[in-house]
Protein backbone atom coordinates (compact mmCIF):
# COMPACT_ATOMS: atom_id res chain seq x y z
CA UNK A 1 0.00 0.00 0.00
CA UNK A 2 1.18 3.52 -0.74
CA UNK A 3 3.03 5.11 2.17
CA UNK A 4 1.27 8.01 3.85
CA UNK A 5 3.01 11.39 3.84
CA UNK A 6 4.62 12.14 7.16
CA UNK A 7 2.31 13.71 9.72
CA UNK A 8 2.97 14.20 13.42
CA UNK A 9 -0.50 15.46 14.28
CA UNK A 10 -2.19 12.69 16.33
CA UNK A 11 -5.66 13.99 15.46
CA UNK A 12 -4.90 13.76 11.75
CA UNK A 13 -3.33 10.31 12.20
CA UNK A 14 -6.40 8.97 14.00
CA UNK A 15 -8.70 10.50 11.40
CA UNK A 16 -6.76 8.87 8.58
CA UNK A 17 -7.26 5.46 10.18
CA UNK A 18 -10.96 6.16 10.80
CA UNK A 19 -11.66 7.25 7.22
CA UNK A 20 -9.65 4.39 5.73
CA UNK A 21 -11.69 1.89 7.71
CA UNK A 22 -14.98 3.51 6.74
CA UNK A 23 -14.31 4.10 3.04
CA UNK A 24 -11.81 1.56 1.74
CA UNK A 25 -13.31 -0.50 -1.09
CA UNK A 26 -16.23 1.84 -1.85
CA UNK A 27 -17.23 1.38 -5.49
CA UNK A 28 -18.58 4.69 -6.80
CA UNK A 29 -15.34 6.69 -7.04
CA UNK A 30 -15.92 8.27 -3.62
CA UNK A 31 -13.61 5.82 -1.88
CA UNK A 32 -10.63 6.17 0.46
CA UNK A 33 -8.28 6.79 -2.46
CA UNK A 34 -10.38 9.75 -3.59
CA UNK A 35 -10.13 11.12 -0.05
CA UNK A 36 -6.40 10.38 -0.03
CA UNK A 37 -5.85 12.35 -3.25
CA UNK A 38 -7.97 15.27 -2.01
CA UNK A 39 -6.02 15.27 1.25
CA UNK A 40 -2.67 15.40 -0.58
CA UNK A 41 -3.89 18.18 -2.87
CA UNK A 42 -5.32 20.11 0.07
CA UNK A 43 -2.02 19.88 1.95
CA UNK A 44 -0.20 21.27 -1.08
CA UNK A 45 -2.70 24.09 -1.59
CA UNK A 46 -2.70 24.97 2.12
CA UNK A 47 1.06 25.36 2.06
CA UNK A 48 0.99 27.50 -1.09
CA UNK A 49 -1.93 29.68 0.02
CA UNK A 50 -1.10 30.00 3.73
CA UNK A 51 -4.20 28.26 5.11
CA UNK A 52 -4.54 26.64 8.52
CA UNK A 53 -3.05 23.20 7.91
CA UNK A 54 -4.92 21.31 10.65
CA UNK A 55 -8.37 22.55 9.64
CA UNK A 56 -7.64 21.88 5.97
CA UNK A 57 -6.36 18.35 6.56
CA UNK A 58 -9.26 17.31 8.78
CA UNK A 59 -11.87 18.78 6.45
CA UNK A 60 -10.26 17.11 3.43
CA UNK A 61 -10.13 13.74 5.20
CA UNK A 62 -13.73 13.93 6.41
CA UNK A 63 -15.36 15.72 3.48
CA UNK A 64 -17.03 12.59 2.06
CA UNK A 65 -17.49 10.60 5.26
CA UNK A 66 -21.27 10.51 4.71
CA UNK A 67 -21.97 11.95 1.25
CA UNK A 68 -25.57 13.10 0.66
CA UNK A 69 -25.65 11.18 -2.64
CA UNK A 70 -25.65 7.93 -0.68
CA UNK A 71 -27.94 9.04 2.16
CA UNK A 72 -31.18 10.02 0.45
CA UNK A 73 -30.03 13.55 -0.36
CA UNK A 74 -29.56 14.45 3.32
CA UNK A 75 -26.92 17.20 3.37
CA UNK A 76 -26.76 17.27 7.18
CA UNK A 77 -25.47 13.75 7.73
CA UNK A 78 -21.91 14.45 6.54
CA UNK A 79 -21.21 17.36 8.90
CA UNK A 80 -22.99 15.54 11.73
CA UNK A 81 -20.89 12.40 11.25
CA UNK A 82 -17.70 14.45 11.15
CA UNK A 83 -18.71 16.35 14.29
CA UNK A 84 -19.44 13.13 16.17
CA UNK A 85 -16.03 11.78 15.24
CA UNK A 86 -14.13 14.93 16.15
CA UNK A 87 -15.98 15.32 19.44
CA UNK A 88 -15.13 11.71 20.32
CA UNK A 89 -11.49 12.81 20.21
CA UNK A 90 -12.21 15.90 22.31
CA UNK A 91 -11.25 18.16 19.43
CA UNK A 92 -11.40 21.87 20.33
CA UNK A 93 -14.48 23.73 19.13
CA UNK A 94 -12.30 26.19 17.20
CA UNK A 95 -11.22 23.25 15.02
CA UNK A 96 -14.45 21.23 14.94
CA UNK A 97 -16.76 24.09 13.94
CA UNK A 98 -14.85 25.31 10.86
CA UNK A 99 -14.18 21.73 9.70
CA UNK A 100 -17.88 20.87 9.86
CA UNK A 101 -18.85 24.13 8.19
CA UNK A 102 -16.52 23.37 5.28
CA UNK A 103 -18.04 19.91 4.88
CA UNK A 104 -21.56 21.37 4.95
CA UNK A 105 -20.89 23.91 2.18
CA UNK A 106 -18.32 22.17 -0.03
CA UNK A 107 -20.34 20.34 -2.65
CA UNK A 108 -21.26 21.37 -6.17
CA UNK A 109 -25.06 21.75 -6.31
CA UNK A 110 -25.78 22.73 -9.90
CA UNK A 111 -24.53 25.06 -12.61
CA UNK A 112 -26.57 28.05 -11.40
CA UNK A 113 -26.21 27.40 -7.66
CA UNK A 114 -23.45 29.46 -6.02
CA UNK A 115 -21.32 27.57 -3.51
CA UNK A 116 -18.95 30.21 -2.11
CA UNK A 117 -16.64 29.25 0.73
CA UNK A 118 -16.46 31.50 3.76
CA UNK A 119 -12.80 30.94 4.65
CA UNK A 120 -9.47 30.35 2.98
CA UNK A 121 -9.45 26.86 4.47
CA UNK A 122 -12.82 26.12 2.87
CA UNK A 123 -11.64 27.49 -0.46
CA UNK A 124 -8.58 25.24 -0.34
CA UNK A 125 -10.53 22.06 0.44
CA UNK A 126 -13.18 22.83 -2.17
CA UNK A 127 -10.45 23.38 -4.76
CA UNK A 128 -8.76 20.10 -3.85
CA UNK A 129 -12.03 18.20 -4.15
CA UNK A 130 -12.80 19.82 -7.50
CA UNK A 131 -9.33 19.13 -8.86
CA UNK A 132 -9.93 15.44 -8.19
CA UNK A 133 -13.16 15.69 -10.21
CA UNK A 134 -11.38 16.75 -13.41
CA UNK A 135 -8.56 15.51 -15.61
CA UNK A 136 -7.78 11.82 -16.11
CA UNK A 137 -8.94 10.85 -12.64
CA UNK A 138 -12.13 12.86 -13.12
CA UNK A 139 -12.88 10.90 -16.28
CA UNK A 140 -12.34 7.61 -14.47
CA UNK A 141 -14.51 8.67 -11.53
CA UNK A 142 -17.30 9.87 -13.81
CA UNK A 143 -17.71 6.48 -15.44
CA UNK A 144 -17.21 4.62 -12.17
CA UNK A 145 -20.05 6.58 -10.61
CA UNK A 146 -22.21 6.31 -13.73
CA UNK A 147 -21.96 2.53 -13.62
CA UNK A 148 -22.60 2.47 -9.89
CA UNK A 149 -25.70 4.66 -10.30
CA UNK A 150 -27.05 2.79 -13.32
CA UNK A 151 -26.68 5.73 -15.70
CA UNK A 152 -26.37 5.30 -19.44
CA UNK A 153 -23.00 6.13 -20.93
CA UNK A 154 -24.70 8.59 -23.28
CA UNK A 155 -28.03 9.10 -24.95
CA UNK A 156 -28.41 11.47 -27.93
CA UNK A 157 -31.97 12.37 -26.87
CA UNK A 158 -31.03 13.40 -23.31
CA UNK A 159 -29.30 16.78 -23.53
CA UNK A 160 -27.24 18.21 -20.67
CA UNK A 161 -28.92 20.77 -18.43
CA UNK A 162 -27.63 23.77 -16.52
CA UNK A 163 -29.51 23.12 -13.29
CA UNK A 164 -31.15 26.10 -11.64
CA UNK A 165 -31.38 24.71 -8.11
CA UNK A 166 -29.84 22.13 -5.85
CA UNK A 167 -33.12 20.21 -5.82
CA UNK A 168 -33.15 20.05 -9.62
CA UNK A 169 -29.53 18.89 -9.65
CA UNK A 170 -30.23 16.10 -7.17
CA UNK A 171 -33.28 14.87 -9.10
CA UNK A 172 -31.66 14.91 -12.52
CA UNK A 173 -31.92 12.03 -14.95
CA UNK A 174 -28.74 12.25 -16.93
CA UNK A 175 -25.88 10.33 -18.51
CA UNK A 176 -22.19 10.01 -17.77
CA UNK A 177 -21.29 12.05 -20.85
CA UNK A 178 -23.68 14.82 -19.84
CA UNK A 179 -21.88 15.09 -16.50
CA UNK A 180 -18.91 16.69 -18.25
CA UNK A 181 -21.15 19.51 -19.49
CA UNK A 182 -23.30 19.80 -16.39
CA UNK A 183 -20.39 20.00 -13.94
CA UNK A 184 -16.86 19.08 -14.90
CA UNK A 185 -16.28 21.57 -17.71
CA UNK A 186 -17.50 24.32 -15.36
CA UNK A 187 -15.01 23.66 -12.57
CA UNK A 188 -11.91 25.23 -14.14
CA UNK A 189 -13.43 28.68 -13.84
CA UNK A 190 -14.74 28.05 -10.33
CA UNK A 191 -11.47 27.37 -8.59
CA UNK A 192 -10.90 29.68 -5.65
CA UNK A 193 -7.12 29.90 -5.33
CA UNK A 194 -4.42 30.91 -7.82
CA UNK A 195 -2.59 27.62 -7.26
CA UNK A 196 -5.66 25.53 -8.04
CA UNK A 197 -6.53 27.62 -11.09
CA UNK A 198 -3.11 26.85 -12.57
CA UNK A 199 -3.44 23.15 -11.81
CA UNK A 200 -6.93 23.01 -13.31
CA UNK A 201 -5.90 24.30 -16.74
CA UNK A 202 -4.11 21.16 -17.92
CA UNK A 203 -6.69 18.82 -16.38
CA UNK A 204 -9.45 20.71 -18.19
CA UNK A 205 -7.66 20.52 -21.55
CA UNK A 206 -7.21 16.78 -21.13
CA UNK A 207 -10.95 16.30 -20.51
CA UNK A 208 -11.90 18.39 -23.52
CA UNK A 209 -9.72 16.33 -25.84
CA UNK A 210 -11.07 13.12 -24.35
CA UNK A 211 -14.72 14.13 -24.84
CA UNK A 212 -14.03 15.22 -28.41
CA UNK A 213 -12.52 11.80 -29.12
CA UNK A 214 -15.32 9.96 -27.34
CA UNK A 215 -17.99 11.90 -29.22
CA UNK A 216 -16.26 11.18 -32.53
CA UNK A 217 -16.06 7.44 -31.80
CA UNK A 218 -19.75 7.44 -30.81
CA UNK A 219 -20.72 9.25 -34.01
CA UNK A 220 -21.93 12.31 -32.10
CA UNK A 221 -21.63 15.90 -33.22
CA UNK A 222 -19.83 16.73 -29.93
CA UNK A 223 -23.12 16.31 -28.10
CA UNK A 224 -26.52 16.92 -29.67
CA UNK A 225 -28.52 19.60 -27.92
CA UNK A 226 -25.59 20.82 -25.87
CA UNK A 227 -25.92 24.44 -24.73
CA UNK A 228 -22.13 24.70 -24.65
CA UNK A 229 -19.41 25.28 -27.16
CA UNK A 230 -16.75 22.67 -26.50
CA UNK A 231 -13.60 24.76 -26.45
CA UNK A 232 -10.24 24.38 -24.79
Domain boundaries, the chain: 10-217
Residues with Cβ within 8 Å of residue 39, at least 6 apart in sequence: 57, 60, 61, 128
Instruction: Yes or no: say if 117 and 123 are a contact pair by the CB < 8 Å rule.
Output: yes
pLDDT for the residue 68: 55
Q: Please say whether the structural domain 10-217 has been given the CATH code 3.40.50.620.
A: no
Instruction: Yes or no: say if 103 and 59 are a contact pair by the CB < 8 Å rule.
Output: yes
Per mean pLDDT, which range of 8-22, 61-75, 128-142 is the poorest?
A: 61-75
Is the pLDDT at 26 greater than 90, yes or no? no
210-224 tens-digit pLDDT: 998 998 888 876 654
Instruction: Yes or no: say if 196 and 223 are a contact pair by the CB < 8 Å rule.
Output: no
Is the pLDDT at 131 greater than 60, yes or no? yes
Query: What distance lies between CA 99 and its chain's CA centroid?
Result: 16
pLDDT band at 70 (very low <50, low <70, confident <90, very high): very low
pTM as predicted: 0.88
Nearest to 63 by CA among 94, 99, 28: 99
Amino acid sequence: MTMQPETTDPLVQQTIRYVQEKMMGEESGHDWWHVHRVWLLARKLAEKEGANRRIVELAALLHDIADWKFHGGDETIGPATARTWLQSLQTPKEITDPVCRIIATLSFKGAHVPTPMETLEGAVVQDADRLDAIGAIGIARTFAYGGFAGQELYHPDIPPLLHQSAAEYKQKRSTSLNHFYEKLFLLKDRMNTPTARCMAEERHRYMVEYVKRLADECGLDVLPGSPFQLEE
